[in-house]
A and B are shown apart, each in its own frame.
Chain A
C-alpha cells in the first residue's frame, strides 16, 4: 500500500497517508488584515464589486504554461515570428493576444551551443502572463542561490545534463524584465502543426530547467 511506513502510526493522517493540514486558528497577520481592509473599502466605496475581484482572481488563476507553449510553438513554426519574439518579446506576445503588462518580456533561445536558464535571486519574478504562477521550488532559497553559482549541478538535478561544448547562460531577473526560454525544437517534429508542437513544450523547458519533449 502506498505510504505504508511501519516506523510510525497513521493516526492523524488523511486517507492518502499525508498529515492533515492544521486549521488556521491563529490570529490574522498584519498583511492579511490589510488585504481584507483594503478589499472591503474598495467594495464599500463602490470602486470595485466583489464579483470583479473574484473574476480577476479567476483570470489570474487561469493563466498557465499552455500560453507560453503556444508562443514557443509559433516561434518554432514561423521563422519571422521567432525573429520578432527574440527582438521584442512583449510585442510578439501581444500579437498572439498575451498582454505581458507593464513588465517587458525578453525571449532567449536555446541552441546547439547555448542553454539558457532563468532565476530571480532577489524574489520570484516570473513571466506569469505566459506561465501562470511559479512553482514553489522557483521561489526557494536553494534554487535562487544555487542557480547562479552552480547552474550545471542544478540542471543535472532536473535531469538535464549538457555537453561540455554547450555554454550555460543564467538570467537573473533583477528588475523590470521577465524571461521566457525558447527551448530547442526536438528532432522528428517536422510534420507537426503548432498545436502538436505546443504539446511538447513543458513549463520547465520555458524556465530552462528542462528540455522540450520528443514526440512519441
Chain B
C-alpha cells in the first residue's frame, strides 16, 4: 500500500467485501477514478467502530465518472467524488 497517491493519480478501489463497518460504498468497489486531493491522516473507521486501537491512514478524495460507475448513466461525463481510505486503493 503506497503511502501517497499524488493528486491526478489513477486508482482502483479494491473489490473486496469483508464484514464489519466499512466506509467504502459498495457501488465504488472495483471502480477506477482519479485522486482529487489527499486528506488526513484519519483513524481507520473499521477499527474505531469497535473501539479498537486505530492506525492513522491517508484519506483520498477520488473523482469518478458516472459513466464508469453505472451502466446507462444519464450523463456519463457527470462526476462523483468520495473519500476512500488508503488501504482500499490500488494503482490503476
Contacts and interface: CB of A to CB of B under 8 A. Distances in A.
Given A176-B59, A177-B39, A170 B78 contact: yes
A177 B78 CA distance: 21
A172 B25 contact: yes
A172 B24 CA distance: 10
A170 B74 contact: no
Contact of B78 (A104, A167, A174): A167
B77 interface: yes
Interface in B9-25: 23-25
A206 to B, nearest CB: 17
Contacts of A170: 66, 78-81
Contacts of A153: 74
Contact of A168 (B24, B27, B78): B78
Contacts of B78: 151-152, 167-170
A169 B42 contact: no
Contact of A150 (B45, B74, B85): B74
Contacts of A176: 39-40, 42, 59, 83
Interface in A138-176: 148-153, 167-176
Interface centre among B24, B78, B79 (most CB of A within 10 A): B78
A150 B72 CA distance: 10
Nearest to A106: B61
A149 B78 CA distance: 10
A121 interface: yes
B81 to A, nearest CB: 5
Q: Which 4 A-B pairs have the closest CB atoms?
A: A175-B83, A172-B82, A168-B78, A170-B80
Interface of A: 104, 106, 121-122, 148-153, 167-177
16 contacts: A104-B39, A122-B25, A148-B27, A148-B69, A152-B75, A153-B74, A167-B79, A169-B81, A170-B78, A170-B79, A171-B80, A171-B81, A172-B83, A173-B83, A174-B82, A176-B59
Given A168-B75, A174-B84, 11 more contacts: A150-B74, A153-B74, A169-B80, A169-B81, A170-B78, A170-B81, A171-B80, A171-B81, A175-B84, A176-B59, A177-B61
